[in-house]
């Protein structure tokens, strides 16, 4: 278990990795980063909304990240980021609550479909962005 409501399995699951035979298992350091993300960001969000966060993308090994054409410097590769939704909770509501109550590195509303959050214990920028599928802009 990572925190009281999250498992490593949900962070490493990838249909693409399974279909392509890619091992998507993190190193000890990457697991530590995932734990930091859970403790500092995801668990407080879960506790506030009292609803499960559905992780749509968590950890990605480099090979998986390349396969899905993720950014080469994606924090998902380091275990520092997760994309999620909460059923029944508007994404903009989540963004607004998180930006006022959580320390984070990046908080991104992606394509109006999910929230991306990252945590970097050494350098949190508290950057809030909107991504429309082609470019980023400040929120």
Tell me the pLDDT of the chain averaged across its residues.
96
For residue 53, how many other CB atoms are within 10 A of its CB?
24
- pLDDT for 1 equals 84
Which residues, other chains included, contact 82 with Cβ-Cβ below 8 Å and sequence gap of 6+?
Answer: 11, 37, 42, 55, 57, 58, 76, 116, 117, 118
Distance separating alpha carbons of residues 2 and 6, to the nearest angstrom: 5
- pLDDT for 134 equals 86
Is the model's pLDDT at 129 over the cut of 90?
A: yes
- pLDDT for 18 equals 96
Per-residue pLDDT of 34-70, as tens digits, reads 999 999 999 999 999 999 999 999 999 999 999 999 9
Note the pTM of the prediction, 2 decimals: 0.95
Per-residue pLDDT of 97-111, as tens digits, reads 999 999 999 999 999
What is the pLDDT confidence band of residue 3, given thresholds at 50, 70 and 90? confident
Q: Are the beta carbons of 36 and 121 closer than 8 angstroms?
A: yes
Domains, the chain, in order of start with CATH, read 8-138 (3.30.1380.10)
């Amino acid at each position: 278990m990572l925190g009281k409501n999250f498992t490593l399995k949900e962070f490493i699951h990838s249909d693409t990795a399974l279909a392509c035979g890619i091992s998507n298992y993190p190193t000890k350091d990457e697991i530590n980063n995932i734990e930091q993300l859970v403790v500092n960001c995801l668990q407080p969000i879960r506790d506030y909304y009292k609803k499960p966060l559905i992780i749509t993308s968590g950890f990605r090994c480099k090979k998986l990240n390349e396969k899905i054409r993720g950014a080469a410097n994606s924090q998902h590769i380091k275990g520092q980021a997760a994309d999620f939704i909460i059923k029944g909770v508007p994404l903009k509501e989540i963004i607004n609550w998180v930006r006022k109550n959580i320390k984070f590195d990046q908080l991104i509303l992606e394509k109006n479909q999910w929230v991306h959050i990252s945590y970097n214990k050494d350098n949190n920028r508290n950057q809030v962005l909107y991504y429309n599928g082609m470019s980023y802009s400040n929120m």
